Structure 1
Amino acid sequence: MQTAPAENILEIENLTKHFATSKSLLPGSGRSVKAVDGVSFTVRKGETLAIVGESGCGKSTLARLVLRLIDPTGGTVRFHGQDIAAIPERSMRPLRARMQMIFQDPFASLNPRMTVAEILTEPMQVHKLGTRAQRRERMIELLELVGLTARHADRYPHEFSGGQRQRIGIARALAAGPELVIGDEPVSALDVSVQAQVINLLEDLKQRLGLTLVIISHDLAVVRHMSDRVGVMYLGKMVELADTQALFSSPRHPYTRALMSAVPLPDPEARPDRQLLEGDVPSPLNPPSGCRFHTRCPYVRDRCRTEEPVMGANDDDHGVACHFWREIDALPRPAAAAARPISEAYARRRALYMERRALQEDAPAL
């Protein structure tokens, strides 16, 4: 028996954000930074959608556009069918409680002059939720929900570790009872050991509260672990969108393949055919014509330089913006990058590690 497809909580269509440069403050004069340029996708209710890409590709700008923390230059953002990009700012307040963000820096995003209790009750006061006693009770419930206790309520942000501060940020995002939570690289500023705790916390909260998550990240290990679908951005454009398993097992866009190839492995000899991107990311002030990736693509053809590819979903719901993605597997692969020289000290440590591992495997079980 097939289950009905989940409804779309978000529908993004041709979303655009251009920032005027200092010499082009008047409309129609000068140039502009094309931070987000014609992005379209949907977010299904109850899923975790990850947006990945290099720094400067427009991920964080996209997140702020979705929540209308900044106004778009063009396009639509429909939340439960309502275009929030077109409604007056005063009409946004009822929607703010249903759409919240977890910021990247857990210290800069918290007011250092406010206690944790004040930080967590402020959203409820703004949205006029409950009485003072009810807000206090809800605040304690939020602390316990993210792994803290009521005794932390009267402390200030500087008295906590980075992981604890991010837990407070998560609790604040949940204070008004949102349906949609966007995490703008919510674990990138944390230690690796703490990252796992916060990721597990977000996954647990998603299941317990029925949340829909959009995670902005450049860490593919995090993305693979916690997302249901992944969208790949390059220079303001969405170039690939697919289920996580399909994207990681069979990436179709050359840029996605390069991102996968760039993931570090413990053994530098485990991937001799590693593909490295050459050249710098073009300026968003003057993006290339045609496919924006063609200046760095190893499979570039004349059509790529003149005609912009359009990302459309295929029969398997795997969208890719590439003219020749069906032929990429049959084309010659780029030459493998030259292996970096391994120092003698590293070689000795590696040989010792392999010897110890062999001894452990051969040792009889106790």
Structure 2
Amino acid sequence: MTMPPENILEINGLTKHFATGKSLLPGIGRSVKAVDGVSFTVRKGETLAIVGESGCGKSTLARLILRLIDPTGGTVRFHGQDIASVRERDMRPLRARMQMIFQDPFASLNPRMTVGEILTEPMRVHKLGSRREQRERMAELLELVGLSARHADRYPHEFSGGQRQRIGIARALAAGPELVIGDEPVSALDVSVQAQVINLLEDLKQRLGLTLVIISHDLAVVRHMSDRVGVMYLGKMVELADTNALFTAPRHPYTQALMSAVPLPDPMARANRQLLEGDVPSPLNPPSGCRFHTRCPHVRDRCRTEEPVMGPNAEDHGVACHFWREIEAPPRPDAAARPISAVYARRRALYMERRALQEEAPAL
């Protein structure tokens, strides 16, 4: 009998409200409900993608998971330990096991430090190895991400965007983490460079046994590299499913609308789009009931008053919608993002072919 994979992360009722000052009514403060009661698990060795529109709380969720900001409520359990309640001084050993790749590869690197200093800093902070061992590890990391040890004395501005992101990936790996969170790790890069970095992340995941959480709004990237996908809307998780199941048969109207927005070459497919109308409500005053009801084409009275809960089984294909069984996804060819995802797949095959040749070269 095959044992189910271990949960490396267990998140329950996680919330983050940012205070913005007092309201017009005396004694009542106002707050932005950036993340509001999110629950899910991350299985060891998988890639979980979190998607949604800008402002839905994806990046805030990533920072909460790593305790870069303190939650307002809820728990984040890493290997069973609730890091949301751990004292700051006790977080340092845990931070070595959880790292982040940031969206902007230039802004996230200290321009006054050389690449070698950037990569050895996490090892010095966590007291990992001697200086000689740190330098050797730094050279290994550069080679691992497709750069050369000769680059160690250069500064970030001397590299291209793709190379800087490789440096950011190497820095995230410097302390030997188990969990890596990528906050839009390829959105600032050209499409051709995106494919290279995505393939690198997949390769490193297999080589090092990493668990990845990828924050993204690019459905082509998500489909190509994720095992499961969580969809967020206005601080809430509205759907969570296996990647193939989500792209083949999305259940939540919001997920269906996201799929419809993917560019497709077929004019008939474009005619069947289910486009969202209206603006995203303010997180200062989210709608009552289902938060999506103000833009949902299937809204009913119950949606306006009663908040849906994730069901039927959040670990299988969870959906926070009262009437998901009655909602039929709009017709579209196969599944969204397939044309773009196919490009990534071809580049992946070429990447693996080149890597195999490089590994065989010393034996020739």
Change (3 A) 1:229 1:267: same
Tell me how far apart the structure 1 counterparts of residues 178 and 355 of structure 2 sit (CA, whole Å).
Answer: 48
Which SS does the other structure have where 1:269 is aligned? helix
Change (3 A) 1:25 1:60: farther
Of 213-222 and 354-363, more deviation after overlay is shown by 354-363
Change (3 A) 1:27 1:200: farther
Q: CA deviation at 1:312?
A: 2.6
Q: CA deviation at 1:207?
A: 0.1
Change (3 A) 1:300 1:168: same
Q: Compare the two structures and name the one with the higher helix fraction.
A: 2
Tell me how far apart the structure 2 counterparts of residues 351 and 225 of structure 1 sit (CA, whole Å).
Answer: 13
Change (3 A) 1:132 1:356: closer
Change (3 A) 1:359 1:308: same
Of 277-286 and 355-364, more deviation after overlay is shown by 355-364
Tell me the equivalent position of 2:348.
350
Q: Deviations over 1:236-287 (max 9, x none)?
A: 0000000000000000000000000000113444332111000000000000
Q: Contact (CA 8 Å) 2:101, 2:182: kept in 1 or not?
A: yes
Tell me how far apart the structure 2 counterparts of residues 344 and 129 of structure 1 sit (CA, whole Å).
Answer: 41
Q: CA deviation at 1:4?
A: 1.2
Q: Deviations over 1:154-182 (max 9, x none)?
A: 00000000000000000000000000000
Change (3 A) 1:272 1:215: same
Q: Deviations over 1:123-155 (max 9, x none)?
A: 000000000000000000000000000110000
Q: CA deviation at 1:30?
A: 1.8
Tell me how far apart the structure 1 counterparts of residues 155 and 359 of structure 2 sit (CA, whole Å).
Answer: 50
Of 219-228 and 306-315, more deviation after overlay is shown by 306-315
Of 261-270 and 302-311, more deviation after overlay is shown by 261-270
Tell me how far apart the structure 1 counterparts of residues 315 and 140 of structure 2 sit (CA, whole Å).
Answer: 42
Q: CA deviation at 1:350?
A: 29
Change (3 A) 1:351 1:193: closer
Change (3 A) 1:90 1:274: same
Q: Identity across aligned pairs (percent)?
A: 90
Which SS does the other structure have where 1:221 is aligned? helix
Q: Contact (CA 8 Å) 1:179, 1:210: kept in 2 or not?
A: yes
Which SS does the other structure have where 2:54 is aligned? coil
Q: Deviations over 1:300-339 (max 9, x none)?
A: 00000000000034398100000000011299999xx999
TM-score by length of structure 1 reads 0.88
Change (3 A) 1:206 1:26: farther
Tell me how far apart the structure 2 counterparts of residues 332 and 25 of structure 1 sit (CA, whole Å).
Answer: 47
Change (3 A) 1:347 1:329: closer
Q: Contact (CA 8 Å) 1:24, 1:32: kept in 2 or not?
A: no
Please tell me whether Structure 1 or Structure 2 has the larger radius of gyration of its CA atoms: 1
Which SS does the other structure have where 1:329 is aligned? coil
Q: Deviations over 1:190-238 (max 9, x none)?
A: 0010000000000000000000000000000000000000000000000
Q: Contact (CA 8 Å) 2:293, 2:304: kept in 1 or not?
A: yes
The 4+ residue runs of structure 1 with deviation greater than 4 A are 24-28, 330-334, 337-366
Change (3 A) 1:83 1:316: closer
Change (3 A) 1:20 1:137: same
Change (3 A) 1:27 1:110: farther
TM-score by length of structure 2 reads 0.89
Tell me the equivalent position of 1:270.
269
CA RMSD of aligned residues (A): 8.0
Change (3 A) 1:51 1:25: farther
Number of aligned residues:
363
- Any unmatched runs of 5+ in structure 1? none
Tell me how far apart the structure 1 counterparts of residues 316 and 346 of structure 2 sit (CA, whole Å).
Answer: 48
1:247 aligns with 2:243: no
Change (3 A) 1:313 1:137: farther
